[in-house]
Structure 1
């Protein structure tokens, strides 16, 4: 599996396929690297931290995450993460489309469990901690799913879907489910504005992008926009654009034999030297080193034990 694709969990990726829209990923990063750039996707996601300590942001909420804890991300939530204390980070993610859980016909499960989950009226706590007995059970089910996905034995799909439904059954008890169907109007506006800007960057990264045109999308003054964008992503607009362009370049370097200069221009850089400088800062290697495979591949363990 391509490392760049693994790291990004990009919103334009297909996780699994139409028959079984679910995929699992294992990622290991050295200290000091961005864990997840700000992005969103239509799928739900369980993010389990195996090693290190990170700061996670979902929409406008930010919180630390310790090894052994997991984050649940509802479909459509903007999220990002960065390592704390410049320590190495190892994590895994289970990404699935909510349609996977739908019943073939409207029944009691659809009414009592699936619909409330899809509407966020009865969803998982944002942070799952082993300190809570019932959340520890959820983490155990997640562990089992990751192992099953890695082994890909016959019947894996049945086990995965049944485990997800079992996890939802744990929310039936009073005071367990979280209700995120309603959110503060101001927060909703912030998230909508950020999504609009990110979508514009993704659609036009090959072209020159001015801060003024991004600010006008919201609309805000350039100064207001820069402060808003950094408060939501922890990056300046220029840093985010450069990071996105470098990630696209990394895909092209791994998949094609095109000249580095051509790739630089194709992803929106107008200066090859600057492209190489930015690429090295973000990817910890030069474009040529990256292409030659000197960047270490992440491990994909068979399970989630500390030794895996």
Structure 2
């Protein structure tokens, strides 16, 4: 942690996933209900990444948190995540339809300099220019951006018919068309004066929150006390609770329990580990407490939840369970 540069997010929150390939750092994603534990809304936990992300919320409504600012969005809507922004997203129900294209800004630059490169492409690549956080359907630019996004989605879909999550592109012709569509989106936003210079102001509260979340993610499998987290933040317990709840909408203990329960739900859906091992792997050291918290969150016991996930994943086998 000591080697992190000032203003950067903790590396443990940095997404390790490769978006696209080294030669074409661009990928398309879609939220797939089959990979989400049944009974839970679609959730993307707090994290950050260097590439820019354009999220299209096609159905449902969502809570989006960007750098400690929580916004409620109704679809259809675009959400833009700039390089290095700490962000999280949760749907309000299980009826979500969410898609995203993630790309490196370097992908759009050219070898030969020109005014567009100097004014837009290089500043974007150098993190000096930002996309707007949101673009709703009421804005005149929305339909134009939507058309280009659909073009990108169509190109990725044609070459990834069997992929459920990450779509990548290998065809140079398709890559060229995707770059053209991304440049067109950038041009549309510039035409409507929606691109902004980055605010250089350092927010210590955001940095503090990143440190605490990073610590929870690294240590959730062992007991964590409120006093321990408050000391990490340099606050007394009462003030820390107010700070954390205001930032994330839940108390530190509720956040830790939610993180552990979601980890347990994933293990129940994707492994055959006994419930006792799931309990311990998820950071609960008491089986009775785990069973109580799990049923409170999901309305199911762990075994019922596992059976239910099998029914929803393999509906043709539901009569044999």
What TM-score bracket applies, with the shorter chain setting the length?
Answer: 0.7 to 0.9
Write out aligned runs for 1:1-308 (5 A).
Answer: 11-21=15-25, 22-27=27-32, 35-36=42-43, 38-42=45-49, 43-82=51-90, 89-98=95-104, 101=107, 103=109, 105=111, 107-108=113-114, 110-152=117-159, 155-173=173-191, 175-183=193-201, 185=202, 188-283=203-298, 285-292=300-307, 293-294=309-310, 296=312
Residues 186-214 of structure 1, C-alpha deviations (whole Å, 9 max, x = no match): xx111111111111111111111111221
Distance 1:17 1:247 in 2: 30
1:207–1:94 CA distance, 2 compared to 1 (3 A): same
1:182–1:257 CA distance, 2 compared to 1 (3 A): same
1:240–1:106 CA distance, 2 compared to 1 (3 A): farther
1:176–1:103 CA distance, 2 compared to 1 (3 A): closer
Cα deviation, residue 53, structure 1: 2.8
Cα deviation, residue 254, structure 1: 3.4
Q: RMSD of the alignment, in Å?
A: 3.2
| Structure 2 portions without partners, runs of 5+ | 1-12, 161-170, 314-321
Q: Give the structure with higher Rg (CA).
A: 2
1:142–1:102 CA distance, 2 compared to 1 (3 A): closer
Runs of 4+ in structure 1 over 6 Å off:
none
Distance 2:304 2:178 in 1: 38
1:171–1:53 CA distance, 2 compared to 1 (3 A): closer
1:41–1:275 CA distance, 2 compared to 1 (3 A): same
Distance 1:35 1:235 in 2: 18
Cα deviation, residue 19, structure 1: 4.4
1:122–1:205 CA distance, 2 compared to 1 (3 A): same
Distance 2:208 2:174 in 1: 40
Distance 1:287 1:156 in 2: 45
1:106–1:56 CA distance, 2 compared to 1 (3 A): same
Determine if contact 1:20/1:100 at 8 Å carries over to the other structure. no
Structure 2 length as normaliser, TM-score? 0.75
Distance 1:13 1:215 in 2: 31
Paired residue for 1:4?
A: none
Distance 1:49 1:174 in 2: 21
Residues 138-193 of structure 1, C-alpha deviations (whole Å, 9 max, x = no match): 1221222223323326554443333222212224437331233334x4xx111111
Determine if contact 1:123/1:180 at 8 Å carries over to the other structure. yes
